[in-house]
Amino acid sequence: MAEVKTPSAPASSRRPLSPHLDIYRPMLTMMMSIAHRITGTALYVGTLLLVWWLVAAATDAKSFSVISTFLASIIGRVILFGFTWALFHHLMGGLRHFIWDTGRGMDHPEREYLAQATLGGGIILTILVWVIAYAVR
């Protein structure tokens, strides 16, 4: 078997140091990437809320009344609005990454336009869904 020779210096002194976040200037694409990760996590929480609603609907009228009352409250509606925004923002971010996977939109102006479309599209689609939901009532 071959022997691997390792230098005697400690590992921390041999590895290059990654630049700290303090040296980066926040850019829209960076913020959208962070928001994409946050909305992905929020979707897990929103899915638990959806499971609670489905289990309550399948259980009995009293359980369904509890979740319906909570979702109809101001806090419940804010959570549902945030869940809707997280869903659409994450969708738009996924489409942005899909476009990047094709090799398009990687240059400076297109990259910024896609980031702006991600932000604007998520907000517009969320408002559109809520306006339609209240119009149907």
In the numeric block, the tokens 């319906």 are attached to: 68
What is the structure's pLDDT at 115? Answer: 96
Per the domain annotation, does 8 fall within a domain?
no
**Per residue of the chain (137 residues), what is the pLDDT tens digit?**
556 565 565 665 666 666 776 777 888 999 999 999 999 999 999 999 999 999 999 999 999 999 999 999 999 999 999 999 999 999 999 999 999 999 999 999 999 999 999 999 999 999 999 999 999 98
pTM above 0.75, yes or no: yes
CA distances from 79 to 8, 46, 115, 123, 137 (A): 55, 8, 24, 15, 20
Q: What is the CATH number of the domain that holds 75?
A: 1.20.1300.10
Which domain range does residue 45 map to?
27-136
